[in-house]
A and B are shown apart, each in its own frame.
Chain A
Amino acid sequence: MLNSMLRSSIMRLAACFLIVLAIWWLSSGRIFVEQIVPKPGDVAVVLAKLAANGKLFWHIFVSFKRILIGYAFGVSVGFSIGLLTGVYILARTVAYPFIEFFRSIPPVALIPLVVSIFGIGEGGKYFIIAYAATFVMIINTASGVASTPAIRVRAAQCLGANSAAIMRWVVIPSAWPYVLTGLRLALGFSFMGVVAAEMLGAQEGIGFLIMQSTNILDAKEMFVGFILLGTFGYLTDQLFRLAVSKRLRRYMMGIEAI
């Protein structure tokens, strides 16, 4: 039963893949010029060539390194600020306008400023990715903390727990599903941030593959970049969901955003 379900869903996925490929193949050279939308075969050749000379893995490695470091910074800062603003009303009142304001500034817009401050080194790229990841983490952590049922906190207080213990054993576990959602969404935003970070002054990376195509007027490498971005973004998100659903079975929450 399970086996046949799995098989039929794989069949459907394969059929879907073939249809997309067919539409892509037919539209290239007919609706769009081949310089703009290259044929899937040509993209596959470029992909294979990049894989053969090892450059592909280098681009992937560089982008992943940036994503991981930026993400780690972004979510640590986001988690701390989220806890602080979730627990203390004063901290929330002070920080909230700034969080809302800076959240509205897209990471791409900061690139010129970041380049002028950090130069075109790695630091600026980590900053952009951290910036992209941090706000969703702040907001999710804070709302997780704020939605801790009051009765749990009061119960712990009645039992004589001090505020550190309440934090550690009541508030954070209650906020956990929100925190994990924040972590997952932040990872998605990091994948978006890396493209922005590599828009200016990068010499390698998946975002670089995409961005340089306008300069060399050849979209094949851009499509390779799209494929990498889509594939890895999807895979990491699914892995995250899997890990979360294993750990979070007792909360059974389904928060769908993007």
Chain B
Amino acid sequence: MNKNVAIYALSIIAFMLLWHVMSASFFNPVLVPPPLKVGDKIVEMTRDGELLSHVWASLYRICVGYFWGCLLGIAIGVGIGLSKLLNDFVSPPIQFIKSITPVAIVPLAILAFGLDEASKYVVIIYGSFVPVVLNTAAGLASVPKIRVRAAQCLGAPMRNIVRYVMLPSAWPFILTGLRLAMGFSFRGVVAAEMIGADTGVGFLIMQSQNMLLPEQMFTGLFMLGVLGLLTDRVFQAVIQRVMRRYMVLIIAESGFKGA
């Protein structure tokens, strides 16, 4: 563990050095500032609270949109998994919009809902809905029939089968969907903020291009990396806790860890 921390530290320092050298030689330092300058900018923007307010704006949008998108996705996904009719009529359109990224929805959302918060929520709801609904439906479809039949034999009503058999079996899929949805929410919110907003990390990045403030742009990119990394980490920790009983098989089977 300590060895790993040392390697992490070394590789990050090496990366910073490389960046520093590249910024002066390979790139134009006006466009790609050296890491120390970016560090200064991060400290400065944190001090005057500007960074935090933009980060908060983005996170708030994600929280609201993500919540509704996931709720909708799970509800419709369960519906698709349970009802053949719904599957026939809702699945094809969802398969179709699957390739339409949240970024592409931004112009439509802005046309329809203006530059208000609503347009950002719509983009995030859309972005998180798609992976959640697909994975929930796939999860319910992959519930072993024998489990459902066993519950039926024991006289369980449908409501209990869904609650105690199908949802727990589909849980790994649903969590995967929720995790992917978080990534899509970030993608969506950044695009929406870049095109039409006056707060948020996406706005920060876009504004710095227009006003030629490369340090600010790198600050924005850095924040995106950190936020994405943190939320994904939290997700992985939750998944690992919840999934421990599912993971046994997978861990037992993996061998080649590189010696």
Contact = CB atoms under 8 A, between A and B. Distances in A.
Interface of A: 12-13, 15-17, 19-20, 32, 35-37, 86-90, 92-95, 97-98, 100-113, 115-117, 145-153, 171, 174, 188, 191-192, 195-196, 199, 207, 210-211, 213-214, 217, 219, 222, 225-226, 229-234, 237, 254, 256-258
B7 interface: yes
Interface string B211-229: 0001001101100111111
Given A35-B111, A109-B202, A258-B130, A226 B209 contact: no
Contact of B111 (A12, A116, A217, A230): A217
Given A16-B92, A213-B111, A257-B176, 6 more contacts: A101-B229, A105-B221, A108-B202, A214-B111, A256-B173, A258-B180
Contacts of B69: none
Interface residues of B, number: 68
Given A19-B89, A109-B202, A257-B135, A104 B7 contact: no
By secondary structure, the A interface counts as helix
Contacts of B155: none
Interface in B61-117: 88-89, 92-93, 95-101, 103-104, 107-108, 110-112
A258 B214 CA distance: 35
Given A16-B89, A20-B93, A257-B180, A191 B255 contact: no
Nearest to B212: A116
Nearest to A227: B96
Contact of A214 (B31, B173, B195, B228): B195
Majority SS of interface residues in chain B? helix
Interface of B: 4, 7-8, 11-12, 15, 27, 31-32, 88-89, 92-93, 95-101, 103-104, 107-108, 110-112, 130-131, 134-135, 138, 142, 173, 176, 180, 183, 186-187, 190-191, 194-195, 201-202, 205-206, 208-209, 214, 217-218, 220-221, 224-229, 232, 253-259
Given A15-B89, A108-B194, A214-B111, A171 B256 contact: yes
A146 B257 contact: yes
9 contacts: A37-B112, A97-B11, A102-B225, A109-B205, A145-B256, A146-B257, A147-B253, A150-B255, A213-B111
A219 B27 CA distance: 39
Nearest to B135: A256
B101 A195 contact: yes
B93 A104 contact: no
Given A101-B229, A192-B101, A148 B190 contact: no
Contacts of A35: 111
Contacts of B176: 257
A89 B217 contact: no
A116 B92 contact: no
B7 A146 contact: no
A190 to B, nearest CB: 10
A188 B225 contact: no
A217 B111 CA distance: 8
Q: Which of B93, B96, B100, B256 lies at the interface centre, i.e. has the most chain A CB atoms within 10 A of its CB?
A: B256
B98 A258 contact: yes
B99 A116 contact: no
B138 A256 contact: yes
A233 to B, nearest CB: 2
A213 B190 CA distance: 19
A219 B111 contact: yes
Contact of B98 (A105, A110, A233): A233
Contacts of B194: 108-109, 111-112, 199
A245 B87 CA distance: 23
